[in-house]
Amino acid sequence: MTDTATETTQTEARHEIDLPLPLLREGKVRSMYDLKDKVLMVASDRISAFDCVLPDPIPHKGAVLTQLSAFWFERTGDIVQNHRIASAPGAIAHAAPELADTRDVWAWRGMLVQKADPFPVECVVRGFISGSAWKEYREHGTLAGEPLAQGLRESDELPEPIFSPATKSEEGHDENIGFSRMCDIVGPDTAARLRSLSLALYQFGRDTLRERGIILADTKYEFGRARDGRIILIDEVMTPDSSRFWPADEYAPGRGQPSLDKQPVRDYLEAMVERGGWDKTPPAPALAPEVVQATADRYREAYRRIVGHDLYE
Ligand SMILES: Nc1ncnc2c1ncn2[C@@H]1O[C@H](COP(=O)(O)OP(=O)(O)OP(=O)(O)O)[C@@H](O)[C@H]1O
Ligand SMILES: [Mg+2]
């Protein structure tokens, strides 16, 4: 379904989101605006690589993240209820009429959600060993201190998906914690519930993406308590920013995998580092226009592949 906002919002990439509304919080990529019992979550087109936010926005990236989350929220409601109230621009304007005059800024990249009390744990599920889990395993044979099967290579599929919670740190690097630490933080009943919900969501996402030629190597969920006390799924869900998406046709364990979404950016920056043009500390350099374009195309193509139609349709 096309929407009247399409023409004006499709083209403009935004690095900064600046709405005349009270800000609840601003993250590396998203701004959360406080609408009393609701929140407007707006994804910018900022992209980060090697832990640095890059100066160039990637056209359509914010809309891809938000609308992909909407796709998963629609399909996982039988596993767990979630915070989404509206994600189509017309439905948002209808549910929160005070947003009507800023529609150009938030259309497609914004989602209206119920305000929740977030649990202070990131519910990570890993189906494949990569990133910080690979680093710990290579050094100690463990994950968050628990022993793992022996003889795994980098990027191998795990014998079964592992729930691997982490705490948020303000500095950006999350700390993997064991399940018993998580029980101390949220209580054992809630911890067990969040673990089983996370594993069910991962299995659904992994199987859905596998049919579309994408490996969901790992992903992170966040849950919160709604006003009425229910546990609901919040934040973003199974997006490229909260997950590792690998192209299945290029998968080969024993090394790191190319990223379905960010690989042109990584390749460009790695080449620059190799030439001595950057040292992976902020500020990050500008990207070549063709790299921005190639990356935008990849995000949009990932959306089309997963959802089955183009963004804004
Ligand atoms: N429905 C909700 N109600 C209240 N807070 C929410 C809701 N959904 C998500 N949040 C919170 O909003 C914040 C989203 O911020 P965002 O992801 O942009 O930044 P961050 O997680 O703090 O940092 P990073 O940039 O590393 O992701 C998170 O703290 C998340 O827990
Ligand atoms: Mg976040």
The series of mean pLDDT values per 10 residues for the chain, 313 residues long, is 48 91 95 97 97 96 98 98 98 96 96 98 98 96 91 97 90 86 98 98 98 98 97 98 98 98 97 97 96 97 97 93
**pLDDT for residue 10:** 59
Is 305 within 8 Å of 215 (Cβ atoms)? no
Which residue, among 130, 141, 125, has the nearest Cα to 256 in the 3D structure? 130
| Distance from Cα 106 to the centre of ligand 1, integer Å | 17
Computed on alpha carbons and rounded to an integer, the radius of gyration of the chain in Å comes to 19
| Distance from Cα 235 to the centre of ligand 1, integer Å | 6
- Tell me if residue 216 falls in helix, strand or coil: strand
Tokens 């063709």 sit on residue: 290
Structure tokens at 106: 């938030």
Hey, what's the torsion of the CAs at 206, 210, 215, 217, to 10 degrees?
A: 20
| Distance from Cα 94 to the centre of ligand 2, integer Å | 27
- Tell me if residue 303 falls in helix, strand or coil: helix
Query: Which residue puts its alpha carbon closest to atom 20 of ligand 1?
Result: 27
Structure tokens at 134: 């690979």
- Tell me if residue 74 falls in helix, strand or coil: helix
**pLDDT for residue 145:** 86
Please return the burial class of 125, using the count of CB atoms within 10 Å of its CB with bins 0-12, 13-18 and 19+: buried
**pLDDT for residue 302:** 97
Distance CA 193, CA 121 (A): 13
Which residues, 6 or more positions from 262, have their beta carbon under 8 angstroms from its beta carbon? 47, 49, 240, 295, 298
**pLDDT for residue 7:** 42
Is 181 within 8 Å of 195 (Cβ atoms)? no
Query: CA distances (Å), 143 to each of 96, 138, 192, in order?
Result: 44, 10, 18
**pLDDT for residue 2:** 46
Which residue, among 214, 231, 213, has the nearest Cα to 222 in the 3D structure? 231
Structure tokens at 239: 């997006």
Tokens 């795990």 sit on residue: 158
Strand residues in 6-83 grouped as ranges (E) = 23-26, 30-35, 38-43, 48-49, 52-53
**pLDDT for residue 144:** 85
Distance CA 270, CA 25 (A): 32
Find out whether the beta carbon of 135 lies less than 6 Å from any atom of ligand 1: no
Is 42 within 8 Å of 145 (Cβ atoms)? no
- Tell me if residue 157 falls in helix, strand or coil: strand
Find out whether the beta carbon of 234 lies less than 6 Å from any atom of ligand 1: yes
Find out whether the beta carbon of 84 lies less than 6 Å from any atom of ligand 1: no
